[in-house]
Amino acid sequence: MCLRPAGLLLPGLANPLRRPYTTNSEEEERVSALAGRVMRGERRAVAQAVTLVESSRHRDRRTAEALLARLAAATAAPTSSSSCLSRHPTTSTFRVGISGPPGVGKSTFIEALGMRLVEREHQLAVLAVDPSSARTGGSILGDKTRMLRLSNHPDAFVRPSPTRGTLGGVTRYMSETIAICEGAGYDTIIVETVGVGQSETAVEAMVDMFLLLVSPGGGDELQGIKKGVMELADLIVVNKADGDLADAARKTQFEYQSALKLIHPKSFDWMPRVMACSAATGKGVDDVIATFEEYRKTMMETGELWRRREEQKRQWLWRLIADELVDRFKQDPNVQQQLGSLEREVARGTLPVGIAAERLLDLFGHPHQS
């Protein structure tokens, strides 16, 4: 197999020389030291680097960007593509998004899957997203996403992260977290989200394969899962196919297969599949891994895996631009001057929303006149 270090996905940031991120040499030294430790796979450093990219503090953002740039520079060195038989760029890493409704047994599934992966000498990072409370901002992490054996395995890194209110937030730092983990040598990344809803779209936009986990539940279950989520899936796995539920699982598998026929496939090269397994007994889990490998091989040979990543990078670029623009917009002195009164007028109904938006946008980016 053609092994090439993980391509780091930093649009416009791949070359640290293009733009100076560090303000002084002390800062540069710190970043360099951290990058070194991350690349050596030091657990504590990887965890701290993830904290850094998750941070909402302005100066941490700058440090994080510098760190990512360093990791990218180190790992994205050009390889002699002559040694690769494939016509397309390849990667040694594989990113899987796993989602499913509460109670479907995601953590048990990921534990079973993950233990097999590390036994096959993969380095696995599991990034789990737990919802923050909209009311208090706090969160409870790891109670629904608990992988006992995996979280103590030397070749695994399990990190729960709070959504912190906005899903946009997750998308933003999760891509960077993936980059950190890959920079640290983790070749398989699982991104887990709780529940069925908008978060799936966000996660699908940053992984190579999206797996939807469902329980044997028949037609009701099927209705509960939005068509939009099924459209995202490259693989649907019916869990709990054991004991009393084995028959129901088969039936559910069949139902999803029929339902998938009505959905326009996401890719020309891969027809989404439905499989059944039991994370509790381990039955069928090896088949899921075999399907991962088959999928990865197919998508790499056709170049689609790389195309997807390229597209994802473009999306990521635009997300960053959008986020940054909004930030800068809010900081703009001209905008700040008018924002309060225009907002009030809009709220009172004395000014149409469209006009207010246009006025504010017109103010943005001009030299400040006081």
Residues near 355 by beta carbon (within 8 Å), at least 6 away in sequence: none
**Residue 302: helix, strand or coil by DSSP?**
coil
175 binds other proteins (CB under 8 A): no
According to CB under 8 A, which residues from 56 to 95 bind other proteins? 56-57, 60, 63
By CB under 8 A, the count of residues binding other proteins is: 43
Taking the complex as a whole, the smallest distance from the CB of residue 300 to other proteins amounts, in Å, to 30
Q: Looking at beta carbons only, is 62 or 266 nearer to other proteins?
A: 62
CA distance 70 to 35: 7
Residue 197 CB, nearest approach to other proteins (Å): 17
Q: Are 229 and 266 within 8 A, CB to CB?
A: no
Which residues 6+ apart lie within 8 Å of 338 measured at CB? 359, 360, 363
Tell which one of 12, 36, 137, 333 touches other proteins (CB under 8 A). 137
**Contact flag: residue 166 with other proteins (CB under 8 A):** no
Minimum distance from residue 108 beta carbon to other proteins (Å): 7
Task: Give yes or no for residue 24 binding other proteins (CB under 8 A).
Answer: no
Decide: is 138 part of the binding site for other proteins (CB under 8 A): yes
Verify binding: residue 43, other proteins, rule CB under 8 A. Answer: yes
Nearer to other proteins, 5 or 142 (CB): 142
**CA 23 – CA 122 distance, rounded (Å):** 38
Name the nearest CA neighbour of 200 among 125, 285, 129, 111: 129
Angle between helices 106-119 and 285-301 (to 10 degrees): 70
Question: Which member of 22, 90, 93, 107 binds other proteins (CB under 8 A)?
Answer: 107
Residue from 141, 222, 260, 317 binding other proteins (CB under 8 A)? 141
Other beta carbons within 10 angstroms of residue 304's beta carbon come to 18
17-54 exposure pattern, b = at least 16 Cβ within 10 A, e = fewer: eeeebbeeeeebeebeebbebbbebeeebbeebbebbb
Determine which residue in the list 1, 3, 85, 148 makes contact with other proteins, applying CB under 8 A. 148
Query: Are 96 and 12 spatial neighbours (Cβ–Cβ below 8 Å)?
Result: no
Does residue 177 bind other proteins (CB under 8 A)?
no
Per CB under 8 A, contacts with other proteins among 330-369 are none
Residues 124 and 13: their CA atoms lie apart, in Å, by 26
In the numeric block, the tokens 């980059």 are attached to 179
Q: Which stretch binds other proteins (CB under 8 A): 149-157, 313-321, 326-334, 339-347?
A: 149-157
Q: Does 25 bind other proteins (CB under 8 A)?
A: no
Q: Which of 144, 117, 115 is nearest to 129 (CA)?
A: 144
Closest among 179, 209, 173 to 46, alpha carbons compared: 179
Which one of residues 17, 80, 82, 135 is an interface residue with other proteins (CB under 8 A)? 135
Among 88, 116, 144, 266, binds other proteins (CB under 8 A): 144
Where is 275: in which H helix or E strand? strand 273-276
Toward other proteins, which CB reaches closer, 215 or 253? 215
Q: Does the footprint of other proteins cover residue 33 (CB under 8 A)?
A: yes
The β-bridge relationship of strands 94-100 and 188-194 is parallel
Determine which residue in the list 5, 11, 41, 142 makes contact with other proteins, applying CB under 8 A.
Answer: 142
Query: Closest distance between other proteins and the C-beta of residue 290, in Å?
Result: 26
Choice between 187 and 208, CB closer to other proteins: 187
Binding site for other proteins (CB under 8 A): 30-31, 33-34, 42-44, 47-48, 50-52, 54-57, 60, 63, 102, 107-108, 132-133, 135-144, 146, 148, 151-152, 157-160, 162, 164
